[in-house]
A and B are shown apart, each in its own frame.
Chain A
Amino acid sequence: MRALIIEDEPHLRKAIAEGLREEGYAVDTAGDGEEGLHMAQCYEHDAIVLDLMLPRLSGLDLLEALRREGNMTPVLILTAKDTLEDKIEGFRRGTDDYLTKPFAFAELVVRLAALIRRSRGVAGHRVTVADLEIDLDRRTMSRAGGEIDLTATEFAMLELFALSGRRVISRTELAEHLWSHDWEKMSNVLDVHVANLRRKIDGGRSESLIRTLRGQGYALRG
Chain B
Amino acid sequence: MRSLRLRLLALFMVMEIAVIFAMAALVYHRSERALFDAMDADLASSFHGLATELEEGEPVLEVTSELSEGQRAEFGQGRDHFYQIADGAGHVLVTSPSLHGDHISLPEDWEDDLQIGEVVHTLEEWDDEEIRVATLAVSPVYPVGFDLNDADPGRVSIVQIAAETDDLRDTLRDLVDYLTMIGGGLILLSLLGGYALSSWALRPVRRLGDQVAQITEETLDQRLPEGGLPAELRPLSEGFNRSLSRLEAAFERERRFLADASHELRTPVSVAMSIQEVALRHPREPARYVEAIETSLQASLRMKSLVERMMAVAREDRRQTTLNWIDTDLGEAVDAVVQFLGPLAERCEVAIRWRRPEAPVRFRGDRMRLEELVENLVSNGIIHNRPGGEVRIELLAGENGRGHELRVSDDGPGIAPEHIPHLFERFYRVDRARAREHGGSGLGLSIAQWVAESHGATIEVKSQLGEGAEFRVLFPA
A-side residues, CB < 8 A to B, are 8-9, 11-12, 14-16, 18-19, 22, 31-32, 53-55, 80-81, 100-106
Taking a contact as CB atoms closer than 8 A, the residue among B263, B269, B278 that contacts A105 in the complex is B278
Question: How far, in Å, is A39 (CB) from chain B's closest CB?
Answer: 17
Residues in chain B near residue A11, CB distance under 8 A:
271, 275, 295, 298-299
The stretch of B212-220, B305-313, B426-434 that contacts the partner chain: B426-434
Decide yes or no whether B436 CB sits under 8 A from chain A.
yes
Contacting pair B295 A103 (CB below 8 A): no
Contact A101:B275 (CB < 8 A) given known A11-B299, A54-B433:
no
Decide yes or no whether B464 CB sits under 8 A from chain A.
no
Residues in chain B near residue A53, CB distance under 8 A:
432
Contact A55:B277 (CB < 8 A) given known A11-B298, A102-B266:
no
Residues in chain A near residue B266, CB distance under 8 A:
80, 100-102
The binding surface of chain B is classed by DSSP as helix
Decide yes or no whether B65 CB sits under 8 A from chain A.
no
Decide yes or no whether B274 CB sits under 8 A from chain A.
yes
| A-B residue pairs in contact (CB < 8 Å), sample of 10 | A9-B433, A12-B267, A12-B274, A15-B275, A15-B295, A22-B282, A55-B434, A81-B263, A104-B273, A105-B273
Decide yes or no whether B79 CB sits under 8 A from chain A.
no
Bound-state CA distance A100–B267 (Å) is 10
Bound-state CA distance A15–B278 (Å) is 7
Bound-state CA distance A105–B298 (Å) is 19
Task: Give chain B interface residues in 273-294, CB to chain A under 8 Å.
Answer: 273-275, 277-278, 281-282
Question: How far, in Å, is B307 (CB) from chain A's closest CB?
Answer: 15
Bound-state CA distance A2–B278 (Å) is 18
Contacting pair B278 A12 (CB below 8 A): no
Contact A80:B270 (CB < 8 A) given known A11-B298, A11-B299, A54-B433:
yes
Residues in chain A near residue B270, CB distance under 8 A:
9, 12, 80, 101-103
Bound-state CA distance A22–B271 (Å) is 17
Bound-state CA distance A106–B298 (Å) is 23
Residues in chain A near residue B273, CB distance under 8 A:
102-105
Contact A55:B282 (CB < 8 A) given known A9-B271, A15-B271:
no
Residues in chain B near residue A16, CB distance under 8 A:
274, 278
